[in-house]
């Protein structure tokens, strides 16, 4: 468990950036295998998140709002929603999920899109 609030916040920002970027690159029409990979990833991500109390809270959110993995839109929208749940818990403003569009561009082009998931 990280004791320092500044370090915890930095870890959070870096992690959210990565988490939302994964969703933004998830296939628009994933195969069953890709859906299962994302679902497993999300549960393991939660379980292994380095801040123990955060991991515990996040796993509670997950059991209430299971991962949506049917498409890129579903996954991105779900991730935005669950981040907003964490925002609410921490008294942070709600993020407008209709603004997700280009926000999480990984700068990696479209060429390797089919290899993702
Ligand atoms: P962050 O919440 O880190 O967000 C970073 C940026 O993402 C924002 O500036 C905004 O541009 C964008 N953003 C904001 N909301 C959304 C959204 N809904 N969808 C997409 N983009 C968005 N901290 C604790 O103190 N206690 C906890 O229990 C806790 N649990 C956490 C669980 C997880 C899984 C993660 C990843 C982090 C957790 N954190 C927790 C850290 C916390 O969520 C923040 O990351 C940290 O407090 C820094 O907040 P911030 O205001 O800089 O913005």
Q: What are the tens digits of pLDDT across the range 14-53?
A: 999 999 999 999 999 999 999 999 999 999 999 999 999 9
Spacing, Cα 105 to ligand 1 middle (Å): 18
Tokens at 48, concatenated: 């292994």
Does any ligand 1 atom lie closer than 6 A to the CB of residue 90? yes
Tell me, what's the pLDDT at 52? 93
Q: Which of 16, 20, 94 to mutate to test the pocket of ligand 1 (most atoms within 8 A of CB)?
A: 16
Tell me, what's the pLDDT at 23? 97
The answer to ipTM > 0.90 is: yes
Using one digit for the tens of pLDDT, what is the confidence trace for 86-109?
A: 999 999 999 999 988 788 988 887
Tell me, what's the pLDDT at 117? 47
pTM of the model: 0.93
Tokens at 93, concatenated: 């403003």
Instruction: Work out which ligand 1 atom sits closest to the CA atom of 53.
Output: 28
Spacing, Cα 106 to ligand 1 middle (Å): 19
Q: What letter does residue 113 receive in the DSSP assignment?
A: G
Q: Which long-range contacts (CB under 8 A, 24 or more apart) does 73-81 make?
A: 73/28, 75/23, 75/26, 75/38, 76/20, 76/23, 76/24, 76/26, 76/100, 76/104, 78/23, 79/19, 79/20, 79/23, 80/20
Alpha-carbon distance 13 to 4, whole Å? 15
């Amino acid at each position: 468990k990280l004791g320092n609030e500044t370090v915890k916040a930095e870890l959070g920002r870096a992690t959210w950036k990565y988490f939302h970027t994964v969703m933004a690159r998830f296939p628009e029409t994933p195969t069953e295998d890709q859906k299962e990979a994302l679902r497993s990833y999300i549960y393991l991500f939660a379980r292994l998140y380095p801040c123990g109390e955060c991991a515990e809270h996040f796993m509670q959110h997950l059991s209430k709002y299971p991962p949506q993995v049917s498409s890129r839109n579903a996954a991105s929208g779900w991730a935005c929603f669950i981040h907003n749940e964490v925002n609410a818990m921490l008294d942070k403003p709600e993020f407008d999920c209709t603004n997700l569009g280009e926000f999480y561009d990984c700068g990696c082009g479209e060429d390797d899109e089919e290899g993702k998931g």
